[in-house]
Structure 1
Amino acid sequence: MSDGDHERTFVMIKPDAFGRGLVGEVISRLEERGLKLVAIKVENMPRERAEEHYSEHEDKPFYDDLVDFITSGPVVPMVWEGQDATRQVRQMIGETDPLEAQPGTIRGDFALDLGRNVVHAADHEDEGANEREIGIHFDDDELIDYDQHDAEWLYE
């Protein structure tokens, strides 16, 4: 964590967005908002990690489809930092169901189908979701700390 009420939040660009060439667009939107990128990688997620990531849905009928999809192509796991970062990101990506996502949100602009909704972000209402998801995808030494060059223009 950083100082004050800054927090780190987990975000992952899903295989559908990767395949459609939307990686740069998603990253740009988060950067332009003022969030600070502290970890990123490109990978084909191992099935075991996907099962751990979605373990809260293990008993639900859509669990196998979630795991199959997230392991179907490259993903871009990331950690972003900023004031109320989790809520900021959730607002920016829009509702889980793209039909309910507002235009101007990432899902509202780029997604049509619930099963292909471009990006995953930790839920701000799920206490501990960020720490759990960051820990699944990144080791502590992969999270970098640096001074954000425009911080004085972003925060009081």
Structure 2
Amino acid sequence: MSERERTFVMVKPDGVKRGLIGEIVSRFEERGLKLVAGKFIEIPRDLAEEHYGEHEDKPFFEGLVDFITSGPVFAMVWEGGDATRQVRHMVGETDPAESPAGTIRGDLGLDLGRNVIHASDHEDPGSNEREIELFFDEAELIDYERPDEALLYE
């Protein structure tokens, strides 16, 4: 059986304003991942700065923070076998122009700075847990079983 884990995903303000939340949620559900938390929020500047803290010394940091606080986002936690890597594969490259068709950014993203979605980095161990803790309290994470889980995992 694949080890199940939880990972953080966020539909960014451009994705929310374009009405893409349902499309994005459907893609993860169809893949077999399980939504265990979700909320529609406006991110306060201090949380945005903490979330993007690893980019603090980069020239694009202020732009990232300004954009992610420019409108509502839909923050989510997804669970499944190797979820962080699975989600990143589905999301595609940071630059939509480099993302293959079939990925979320390849199909829905238009611009590097407006790439519709954020997902925890599978190459940065612990980023999924850190980001989940930034946006969700433990009580907001719902544990339940999907009826098709026996079909999805050995």
Q: Which interval holds the TM-score relative to the shorter structure?
A: over 0.9
The Cα shift of 1:148 comes to 1.4
Distance 1:144 1:33 in 2: 19
Match of 1:6 in 2: 4
The Cα shift of 1:4 comes to 6.2
Structure 1 letter corresponding to 2:53: S
SS at match of 2:41: coil
The Cα shift of 1:127 comes to 1.0
Match of 2:22 in 1: 24
Distance 1:69 1:36 in 2: 28
Structure 1 letter corresponding to 2:104: I
Distance 1:60 1:80 in 2: 29
TM-score, normalized by length of structure 1? 0.97
Structure 1 letter corresponding to 2:15: A
Match of 1:61 in 2: 59
Match of 1:46 in 2: 44
Aligned length in residues? 154
The Cα shift of 1:147 comes to 1.0
Distance 1:112 1:40 in 2: 25
Q: Structure 2: where are the runs of 5+ without partners?
A: none
Match of 1:115 in 2: 113
Match of 1:95 in 2: 93
Structure 1 letter corresponding to 2:11: I
Which of 80, 83, 93 matches 1:82? 80
Alpha-carbon RMSD across the aligned residues, in angstroms, is 1.0
Which of 108, 121, 124 matches 2:122? 124
Distance 1:142 1:108 in 2: 31
Runs (4+) off by over 6 Å: none
Deviates more, 1:144-153 or 1:35-44: 144-153
Give aligned-pair identity as a percent. 68
SS at match of 2:110: coil
Deviates more, 1:131-140 or 1:3-12: 3-12
Structure 2 letter corresponding to 1:68: D
Distance 1:32 1:44 in 2: 27
TM-score, normalized by length of structure 2? 0.98
Q: Structure 1: where are the runs of 5+ without partners?
A: none
Structure 1 letter corresponding to 2:145: D
